[in-house]
Amino acid sequence: MKAHAPGSSLRFALIVLDGVGDRPCPELGEKTPLEAARTPHLDGLAERGELGLAYPVGQGVAPESDAGVLGLLGYDPEADSPGRGVLETEGLGIHLREGEVAFRANFATFSRDGGILDQRVGRSLGTDEARKLATALSDPESLADRGVQVRVLATVGHRAVVILSPPSARPFSSLVSNSDPFYQKLGGMGKAVSVKDPRPLAVRPLGMSADARWTAECANLFLDTVGPRLREHPVNLARRERGLLEANGLLLRDAGVPTDRDLSFSKRWGLPGRALTEMPVERGIARLLGMDDLYVGPLDPATRDEGLRERARQCAGALRPGELLYIHLKGPDEPGHDGKAGLKREVIEAIDHSFFGPLLRGVDLTTTRILVTADHATPCTLKGHSDDPVPVLVGGGDVRGGPARRAQRFTEVDARGGSLGTLTGKAILRSLLEGTPSSHVP
267 and 146 housed in the same domain: no
Contact residues for 303 (Cβ-Cβ < 8 A; gap 6+): none
What is the tens place of the pLDDT at every residue in 190-215? 888 988 889 999 999 998 899 999 99
275 and 360 housed in the same domain: yes
Positions of E strands within 205-313 = 249-256, 273-276, 292-293
Residue 176 and residue 206 in contact, taking contact as beta carbons nearer than 8 Å: yes
The secondary structure of residue 279, as a DSSP letter, is S
Residue 347 and residue 335 in contact, taking contact as beta carbons nearer than 8 Å: yes
Q: How many domains does the chain have?
A: 2
286 and 388 housed in the same domain: yes
239 and 307 housed in the same domain: no
The answer to whether residue 413 sits within a structural domain is yes
Q: Beta 324-329 vs 11-17: how paired, if at all?
A: parallel
Q: In a 10 Å sphere around its CB, with 0-12 CB exposed, 13-18 middle and 19+ buried, how is residue 169 labelled? A: exposed
Q: Nearest Cα to 101, choosing from 216, 201, 225?
A: 216
Q: Nearest Cα to 223, choosing from 191, 195, 264, 255?
A: 255
Write down the pLDDT at residue 25. Answer: 97
Write down the pLDDT at residue 401. Answer: 64
Share of residues in the chain with pLDDT > 70 (%): 96
Write down the pLDDT at residue 3. Answer: 43
Range of the domain at 151: 87-256
Residue 418 and residue 51 in contact, taking contact as beta carbons nearer than 8 Å: yes
Residue after which a domain boundary falls, among 223, 256, 289: 256
- pTM here is 0.92
317 and 409 housed in the same domain: yes
User: How many Å from the N-terminal Cα to the C-terminal Cα in the chain?
Assistant: 13
What is the tens place of the pLDDT at every residue in 28-50? 999 999 999 999 999 999 999 99
244 and 291 housed in the same domain: no
| Count of residues in the chain | 442
302 and 232 housed in the same domain: no
91 and 78 housed in the same domain: no
302 and 246 housed in the same domain: no
Write down the pLDDT at residue 406. Answer: 62
Residue 395 and residue 433 in contact, taking contact as beta carbons nearer than 8 Å: no
The answer to whether residue 376 sits within a structural domain is yes
Write down the pLDDT at residue 335. Answer: 96
The answer to whether residue 73 sits within a structural domain is yes
The secondary structure of residue 145, as a DSSP letter, is G
What is Dmax (Cα atoms) for the chain?
Answer: 72
The answer to whether residue 24 sits within a structural domain is yes
Q: How confident is the model at residue 404 (pLDDT cuts 50, 70, 90)?
A: very low
Q: Nearest Cα to 276, choosing from 335, 323, 336, 321?
A: 323
Mean pLDDT, residues 88-109 taken together: 96
228 and 209 housed in the same domain: yes
Pick 129 or 186 by higher pLDDT: 129
